[in-house]
Amino acid sequence: MKKQINLFLVGTGLVGKALLKSIKINPTVQSENRSITIKVAGIANRSNMLLGKRGIDPVKWKSELNNNGGQTNIKSFIELMKRMKLPNSIFVDCTDGNDIVTLYNTILKTTPIVTPNKSANAGSYKQYNVLKDIVRKNGTDFRYSANVGVGVPSLDVIKSILSGGDKIVAIEGLFSSTMNYLLDKLMTTNKKFSDLLKEAEQKGLTEPDPRNDLNGIDTARKILILVRDSGVKLELSDVKIENLVPVILRNIKSLDRFYESLKIYDKKFDELKKEALRKNCKLVYSANYRKNSASVKIEMVDTSHPFYFSSSKEKVVLFYTKFYKKHPLIIKGQSGGAKATAAVLVSDILKTIK
């Protein structure tokens, strides 16, 4: 059976580009006994937008968008998408903020959404539920596997656990590639924490401002989404976060000055390392949920803990359930990146075709 998907993509940054590249390489995908072709029917970024029934070439999209596109107005983009009434239309939000998320309610009334953007699911619990209700009432779809631990299909595992009648009791996870890298290097080299952070930034391993890795918010949003999908009502403000940016360094504008000032705290990390080595433990920055309480913090784990043997390049999630009581269900795999995120998006896109 042959099917065609019509994709409306907003966001042409790292992930959006990787998705277009993947469509360019593999425009037709064999899924079960179906041959599904993905056509790009609309593209937008902050500057330009372009929609067309005949499709946009995923190779020459940039020149087509710049030469034939108009100034971006996302509300019009959505209106035009709806008016085109193309079969199997899917809206893909590859933006990084909240702007598009505020329009999900409208989009989901007619069109499925696939996104790596965590903003909708990590906003208020009320809004998280509103989206689920809209999908239920209108028979559309909302897929966000790339929200948590790309490459580690944790949200699919939750669905599978729940559909088998089991109940999730606790979740533990290592979600931050940057923190995995920093703590691993701290334990295995003689380098100071502030130097390692600067090194990681220079290698492009951190967010442009590495304080956004140290503040734990992204990790907190990930555990929040897992917990909510497990059926628990929780707000981001309920997650106790150990922010590794010292309070007095949070408002420093210049990054160089931040690194200089962070040196005062190297001693704290050296002491933590010493204690961990003495106890034959490893340091991890983990996210945890148990008994209605969630946290993100530095932890010392010994050889009895599954985190001890994970590589710093891996994302790890442990699920404790009524069935997996003593020995958790463990999923782990190599950390993501834009290419891996695009692969997860394609998988979600294909799943929206009923």
Q: What is the crossing angle of helices 177-188 and 266-278, to 10°?
A: 70
Between 12 and 352, CB nearer to ligand NAP: 12
Rule CB under 6 A: is residue 44 a binding residue for ligand NAP? Answer: yes
CA 100-103-108 angle, 5° bins: 115
Rule CB under 6 A: is residue 46 a binding residue for ligand NAP? Answer: yes
Residue nearest to ligand NAP (CB): 13
**Out of 6, 16, 39, 224, which residue is the one contacting ligand NAP (CB under 6 A)?**
16
- Provide the token pair at 295: 């946290």
Quick note: the x/- pattern for ligand NAP over 94-133, rule CB under 6 A, is xxxx-xx---------------xxx---------------
Rule CB under 6 A: is residue 72 a binding residue for ligand NAP? Answer: yes
Residues 179-198 that bind ligand NAP (CB under 6 A): none
Helices first, then strands: H and E counts in the chain: 13, 14
| Amino acid code (one letter) for 89 | S
Size of the site for ligand NAP (CB under 6 A): 28
Region of 339 please: left (phi>0), alpha (psi -120 to 50) or beta: alpha
The alpha carbon of residue 321 and the mean position of all alpha carbons in its chain are separated, in whole angstroms, by 23
> Where in the sequence numbering do the catalytic residues fall?
222
Stretch that binds ligand NAP, among 29-37, 45-53, 234-242, 324-332 (CB under 6 A): 45-53
Region of 27 please: left (phi>0), alpha (psi -120 to 50) or beta: alpha
The answer to whether the CB of 23 falls within 8 A of the CB of 106 is: no
Rule CB under 6 A: is residue 151 a binding residue for ligand NAP? Answer: no
Rule CB under 6 A: is residue 334 a binding residue for ligand NAP? Answer: no
The answer to whether the CB of 128 falls within 8 A of the CB of 327 is: no
Rule CB under 6 A: is residue 14 a binding residue for ligand NAP? Answer: yes
Spatial neighbors of 335 by CB under 8 A, at least 6 apart, are: 150, 151, 177, 180, 313, 314, 315
Beta bridge partners of 113: 91, 142
Q: Name the E strands within 247-292.
A: 282-290
Between 15 and 78, CB nearer to ligand NAP: 15
Rule CB under 6 A: is residue 212 a binding residue for ligand NAP? Answer: no
What Å distances lie between residue 211 and 74, 116, 140, 258, 300, CA to CA?
31, 22, 38, 9, 22
Q: Name the E strands within 175-304.
A: 239-241, 282-290, 293-301
Spatial neighbors of 69 by CB under 8 A, at least 6 apart, are: 43, 44, 48, 49, 50
Query: Shortest gap between Cβ of 282 and ligand NAP (angstroms)?
Result: 25
Between 49 and 301, CB nearer to ligand NAP: 49
Quick note: the x/- pattern for ligand NAP over 223-262, rule CB under 6 A, is ----------------------------------------
**Out of 7, 11, 43, 154, which residue is the one contacting ligand NAP (CB under 6 A)?**
11
Query: Shortest gap between Cβ of 207 and ligand NAP (angstroms)?
Result: 10
Between 70 and 97, CB nearer to ligand NAP: 97
List of residues contacting ligand NAP (CB under 6 A): 10-16, 44-47, 72, 74, 94-97, 99-100, 116-118, 146, 150, 336-338, 341
